[in-house]
């Protein structure tokens, strides 16, 4: 598989995204280190080329204030049935209305599977497009985020306006 990788500047720092031939986002994150984005995948593409990804327009629109610009960007992730259901559920969380890991587990129909819910967030490769940053600890604190809690805090603040 051939993939395109692109890094753009955002108010939260460099943002790199990796897309496949069908323009689906495979992985993304707030870093200029392309290797760090590739490491989010279970299997890296055979050929990665720098170029312009159509999904970059959605990132720019998101940062320009259209918080729903990322909603219809296709993503592609490989995982278990529960992980795929979790990633789909993350995409349904409304900007500005984060939920707790406990509520997220309940939304998956597994109310006692809070650790599994947290794991789904931790294994999410196309960050921003699958907004795992919208899930918080039960006490309302940020919890972890692959790209740093400062980025998570900034995203949540942007979405709460």
Please give the structure tokens belonging to residue 93: 């969380």
CB 107 within 8 A of CB 116: no
DSSP β-bridge partners for residue 7: 16
List 27, 117, 132, 135, catalytic entry: 132
Helix residue spans in the chain (DSSP H) = 34-38, 55-63, 81-90, 101-107, 114-122, 149-160
Q: Give the separation between CA 70 and CA 125, rounded to whole angstroms.
A: 15
Residue 132 annotated in active site: yes
CB 17 within 8 A of CB 25: yes
Phi, psi of 41 (to 5 degrees): -90, 150
Q: Give the separation between CA 28 and CA 122, rounded to whole angstroms.
A: 13
Q: Give the separation between CA 58 and CA 64, rounded to whole angstroms.
A: 10
Q: Which residues are catalytic?
A: 132
């Amino acid at each position: 598989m051939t993939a395109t990788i692109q890094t753009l500047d955002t108010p939260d720092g460099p943002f790199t995204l990796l897309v496949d031939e069908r323009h689906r986002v495979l992985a993304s994150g707030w870093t200029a280190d392309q290797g760090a984005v590739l490491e989010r995948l279970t299997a890296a593409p055979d050929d990665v080329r720098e170029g312009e990804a159509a999904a970059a327009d959605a990132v720019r629109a998101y940062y320009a204030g259209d918080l729903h610009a990322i909603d219809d960007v296709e993503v592609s992730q490989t995982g278990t049935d529960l992980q795929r259901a979790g990633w789909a559920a993350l995409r349904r969380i409304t900007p500005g209305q984060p939920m707790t890991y406990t509520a997220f587990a309940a939304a998956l129909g597994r109310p006692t599977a809070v650790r599994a819910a947290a794991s789904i967030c931790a294994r999410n490769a196309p960050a921003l497009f699958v907004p795992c940053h919208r899930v918080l600890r039960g006490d309302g604190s940020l919890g972890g985020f692959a790209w740093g809690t400062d980025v998570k805090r900034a995203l949540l603040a942007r979405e709460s306006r």
